[in-house]
């Protein structure tokens, strides 16, 4: 696919489809930064809370991915076909 013919939002960016999961880290960090800037009552521990939330979200996403992988690869093949 030619980059000139690429339509953003509708089509994935050429060359980036294999590495899309690297973009999850800055996305989660940005969301955590903004969320904690609004919600935290004291800015003294702001960055610690931002990195804690980022780690929690990333670990939660990894756990969900592992659970879905187990579901699809182990449990679904054991279901009856009828």
Q: What total number of domains does the chain contain? A: 1
Domain span at residue 25 reads 20-78
H-helix or E-strand spanning residue 69: helix 46-70
**Tens-place pLDDT, residues 3-62:** 677 787 887 777 777 787 888 999 999 999 999 999 999 999 999 999 999 999 999 999
pLDDT value for 26: 94
Residue 36 is assigned to a structural domain of this protein? yes
- Is the predicted pLDDT of residue 1 greater than 60, yes or no? no
pLDDT value for 35: 96
Given a contact cutoff of 8 angstroms between Cβ atoms, the answer to whether 20 and 12 are in contact is: yes
Residue 7 is assigned to a structural domain of this protein? no
Residue 64 is assigned to a structural domain of this protein? yes
Closest CA to 61 of 36, 28, 35, 19: 28
What distance in Å separates the CA atoms of residue 49 and residue 43, rounded to the nearest whole number?
Answer: 10
What distance in Å separates the CA atoms of residue 28 and residue 2, rounded to the nearest whole number?
Answer: 30
pTM of the complete model: 0.76
Residue 4 is assigned to a structural domain of this protein? no
Closest CA to 35 of 49, 45, 18: 49
pLDDT value for 3: 60
């Amino acid at each position: 696919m030619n980059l000139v013919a690429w339509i953003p939002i509708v089509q994935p960016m050429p060359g980036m489809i294999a590495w899309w999961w690297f973009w999850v880290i800055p996305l989660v960090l940005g969301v955590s930064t903004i969320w904690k800037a609004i919600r935290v009552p004291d800015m003294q521990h702001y960055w610690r809370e931002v990195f804690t939330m980022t780690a929690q979200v990333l670990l939660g996403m990894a756990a969900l991915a592992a659970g879905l992988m187990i579901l699809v690869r182990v449990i679904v093949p054991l279901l009856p076909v009828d």
